[in-house]
C-alpha cells in the first residue's frame, strides 16, 4: 500500500472489494436498502483503516520496545565500559608512577655508578699521592744534609717567619737595638 493513498481509497479501488460489494449492492438495491450498503462500505473501510492503524501501532510498539531494549543494553554496556575505562586509567596511572619510580631509580643508579667511579679515581689518586709522598720523604731524609735550604741559620730563620720573631723581640725588649738584625733579615714572605 502506498503512503499517499489512504487505505479506504485503496479498498474502494480494489477489484475484489468492488466485486464483493457490487454483489451486495445488487442484493441491497433489490430490497431497497441503499443506505445500508453505503454504511456497510464505510464501516468496512473504517475497519480496514482501524486494523491497519492497529497493525502500525503494534509494529511501532515492537520497534519502540526493541529500541528501548537496545538502549538499555547500550546503557549497560556503556556503564561497564566506563567502569573498565576507570579501572584501566587507574592501572595506567599506577604503571606511569612505576615507570617514573624506575626512571628515578635508574637515574640514582647512574649517579651512584658515577660517584663510585669518582671514589675509585679519588682512592687511586690518593694512593698514588701517598706513594709519592713516602718517596719524597724518603728522598728528603736521605739527602737532607745536601740541601742548601738549611746550610745557613739565616735561611732557616727566614722560613719560620723572622718578622714575627723580631716584632716579638721589639715588644718584649724595647731597650735593645735590633736594627742590625732587621737589616740582615728584611721583610719577605714565608715559604711554607
What digits encode the pLDDT tens for the residues 49-83?
888 888 889 999 999 999 999 999 999 999 999 99
What digits encode the pLDDT tens for the residues 103-146?
999 999 999 999 999 999 999 999 998 998 888 888 877 876 66
Phi/psi-derived region of residue 152, left when phi > 0, alpha when psi is between -120 and 50, beta in every other case: beta
What digits encode the pLDDT tens for the residues 26-47?
666 566 555 666 677 777 778 8
Q: What is the DSSP letter of 145?
A: G
**Grid cell digits, residue 69:** 531494549
CA 41 – CA 13 distance, rounded (Å): 12
CA 25 – CA 44 distance, rounded (Å): 14
Amino acid at each position: 500500500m502506498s503512503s499517499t493513498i489512504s487505505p479506504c481509497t485503496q479498498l474502494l479501488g480494489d477489484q475484489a472489494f468492488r466485486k464483493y460489494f457490487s454483489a451486495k449492492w445488487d442484493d441491497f438495491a433489490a430490497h431497497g436498502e441503499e443506505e445500508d450498503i453505503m454504511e456497510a462500505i464505510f464501516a468496512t473501510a473504517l475497519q480496514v483503516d482501524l486494523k491497519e492503524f492497529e497493525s502500525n501501532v503494534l509494529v511501532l510498539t515492537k520497534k519502540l520496545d526493541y529500541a528501548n531494549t537496545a538502549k538499555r543494553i547500550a546503557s549497560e554496556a556503556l556503564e561497564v565500559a566506563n567502569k573498565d575505562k576507570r579501572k584501566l586509567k587507574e592501572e595506567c596511572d599506577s604503571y606511569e608512577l612505576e615507570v617514573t619510580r624506575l626512571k628515578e631509580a635508574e637515574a640514582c643508579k647512574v649517579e651512584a655508578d658515577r660517584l663510585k667511579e669518582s671514589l675509585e679515581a679519588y682512592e687511586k689518586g690518593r694512593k698514588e699521592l701517598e706513594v709519592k709522598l713516602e718517596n719524597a720523604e724518603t728522598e728528603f731524609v736521605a739527602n737532607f744534609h745536601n740541601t742548601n735550604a738549611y746550610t745557613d741559620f739565616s735561611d732557616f730563620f727566614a722560613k719560620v717567619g723572622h718578622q714575627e720573631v723580631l716584632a716579638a723581640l721589639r715588644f718584649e725588649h724595647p731597650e735593645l737595638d735590633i736594627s742590625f738584625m732587621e737589616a740582615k733579615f728584611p721583610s719577605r714572605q714565608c715559604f711554607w
